[in-house]
Homo-oligomer: A and B are copies of this chain.
Amino acid sequence: MTTTPHPLTLHDDRLFSSDPVQRAIARRLYAHVGTLPIISPHGHTDPSWFAKNEAFANPTELLLLPDHYVFRTLYSQGVSLDALGIPRRDGSRAKVDPREAWRVFASHFHLFRGTPSSMWLNHVFHDVFGLRARLAASTSDLYYDHITAALQTPAFRPRALFERFNIELIATTESPLDPLQHHAEIRESGWRGRVITAYRPDPVVDPEHEQFPDALRSFGEITGEDVYSWDGYLRAHRQRRAYFASMGATSTDHGHPSAATADLSRAEATRLFDKVVRSNVTAEEAELFRGQVLTEMAAMSLDDGLVMQLHPGCFRNHNRALFERFGRDKGADMPLRTEYVHALKPLLDRFGNEPGFQLLLFTLDESTYSRELAPLAGHYPALFLGPAWWFHDAPEGMWRFREQTLSSGGFYNTVGFNDDTRAFLSIPARHDVARRVDCAFLAKLVAEHRMEEDEAVEVAVDLAYRLPKRAYRL
């Protein structure tokens, strides 16, 4: 093994076509968007970071353990979660030196070749930490020491990074049961960073969620409403939505197994809710209930102006043994085939033409881009398409999203990028990838004489900055 590590570079033209005509156009477009402030309207960073502004501990705690899209790749090649020191469901944790865990990661870094994780991580290593050698077994300790040292400095505290990253706004995501104290602390602190919340009520909406009975009880306690009556339950939502809005929220977020919506009569909904709270619903009734709540949420949106996001189509915690030992969010969520045209009709029949109602749709089923989502969003005033998401948040996935939604949906029924991440340090890298891919895509249109360059500049700025602000009412 050589003792000279490979250099780590971040090419100025990365993600642009190697065709010189397209590359030159892409560069010119990128010059208009590369340094625009970051709008991050949907994500999973921890608001306590910005409230407390404490130093992160080390690279393992910061970059490896919380990122199940990094450690799932190691797991898929035989690295056990205990070898990394991932916390278990029961709160225990294998005794692993974080430096050792980082070495395991470093020695498997070739597994990420070509993946978005390698791009994001290398961007972080290079631009955030100033590293210039590639991560490998031989550089593992160099990385560990360098990053750990940097993290102890003021420039690497969460608020300093937020400012350095040129984040204009970031939204976190909280359950209705969350008191939002960190958001309150941020506001009271006088710090000018704009950190808002988003209302994600899944645990009190999904009767099949393992926390549903407890969550519902807490929902009653926190709101003082009788959440075991349909009317009280809806009032509780209205109350919490209003509180979230007062903490800056401009959107709600709904992660359901399918896109099913329903539009039951008041009597039917009441009967269904009575079964739900008695915890004896069938799978079909649970589906119907979730669908009915979506339509109720749309109705509330019209009143309080919160934009609605729907992310359907995921089988959560697919790996039974892993779930039993390590709990949720361990990289075992799997996309499902998803239908939209029939599923959304009840909700759209009520609110699809309603001025002021905005429903942002996401998918994990790319076959719906051209078949269902773009035709729907290209017609209904209320519908907009969220960006290529989760498993598809990669250059190829973003490219497919544009290629498959452009003809029926255009650019202007999409909402720009959102990073959807808890990996705070990677946020600039993720937005940069999205901006570069959009510039490369537009450069191809210009190079093939389907659009003039002045139009492409406008579209690039719209996608990077204006459309997310419009879509999320920021």
The residues of A with any CB-CB pair to B shorter than 8 Å are 6, 9, 11, 13-19, 21-22, 72-73, 75-78, 110-116, 118-119, 134, 315, 318-322, 331-337, 339, 341-342, 345, 348-349, 352-353, 355, 364-367, 370-372, 374-381, 383, 391-397, 400, 403-404, 406-408, 410-413, 444-445, 447-452, 454-455, 458-459
Known contacts A18-B444, A115-B407, A334-B341, then 18 further A-B pairs from the complex at CB < 8 Å, ordered by chain A residue = A11-B449, A17-B19, A17-B448, A18-B21, A18-B447, A76-B379, A110-B455, A114-B451, A116-B407, A118-B450, A318-B348, A319-B352, A336-B372, A337-B367, A337-B371, A366-B367, A375-B391, A393-B407
A104 to chain B, nearest CB (A): 15
Given A353-B319, A367-B366, is A111 in contact with B379 using a C-beta cutoff of 8 Å?
A: no
30 contacts between A and B (CB under 8 A): A6-B454, A9-B449, A11-B449, A18-B22, A18-B444, A18-B448, A76-B380, A111-B410, A113-B451, A114-B406, A114-B410, A114-B411, A114-B450, A115-B407, A115-B410, A315-B342, A319-B352, A319-B379, A321-B353, A334-B341, A334-B375, A335-B371, A336-B372, A366-B371, A367-B371, A370-B391, A370-B392, A371-B391, A395-B450, A396-B407
Which residues on the B side are within 8 Å of A17 (C-beta)? 19, 448
A349 to chain B, nearest CB (A): 5
> Which 3 pairs between the two chains have the least Cβ-Cβ distance?
A394-B407, A11-B449, A18-B447
Interface centre among A315, A366, A378 (most CB of B within 10 A): A378
| Inter-chain contact B331/A379, CB cutoff 8 Å | yes
Given A114-B411, A396-B404, A450-B119, is A370 in contact with B374 using a C-beta cutoff of 8 Å?
A: no
Distance of A125 Cα from B400 Cα, bound (Å): 30
Which residues on the B side are within 8 Å of A16 (C-beta)? 448
Given A76-B377, A375-B391, A376-B334, is A412 in contact with B111 using a C-beta cutoff of 8 Å?
A: yes
| Inter-chain contact B391/A77, CB cutoff 8 Å | no
Given A77-B381, A370-B392, A412-B77, is A348 in contact with B335 using a C-beta cutoff of 8 Å?
A: no
Which residues on the B side are within 8 Å of A396 (C-beta)? 403-404, 406-407
Distance of A400 Cα from B397 Cα, bound (Å): 12
| Inter-chain contact A407/B413, CB cutoff 8 Å | no
A392 to chain B, nearest CB (A): 7
Distance of A341 Cα from B403 Cα, bound (Å): 27
Given A378-B72, A379-B331, A407-B397, is A321 in contact with B349 using a C-beta cutoff of 8 Å?
A: yes
Distance of A171 Cα from B113 Cα, bound (Å): 30
A241 to chain B, nearest CB (A): 24
Distance of A397 Cα from B16 Cα, bound (Å): 23
| Inter-chain contact B378/A397, CB cutoff 8 Å | no
- Chain B residue nearest to A325 (CB atoms) is B353
Distance of A396 Cα from B367 Cα, bound (Å): 15
Which residues on the B side are within 8 Å of A113 (C-beta)? 410-411, 451, 455, 459
- Chain B residue nearest to A68 (CB atoms) is B379
Interface centre among A11, A114, A404, A444 (most CB of B within 10 A): A114
Which residues on the B side are within 8 Å of A371 (C-beta)? 335-337, 364-367, 391
Distance of A348 Cα from B318 Cα, bound (Å): 9
| Inter-chain contact A78/B315, CB cutoff 8 Å | no
Candidates B21, B333, B366, B370; contact of A370 at CB < 8 Å: B366
| Inter-chain contact B381/A407, CB cutoff 8 Å | no
Which residues on the B side are within 8 Å of A455 (C-beta)? 110, 113
A358 to chain B, nearest CB (A): 11
Which residues on the B side are within 8 Å of A403 (C-beta)? 396, 400
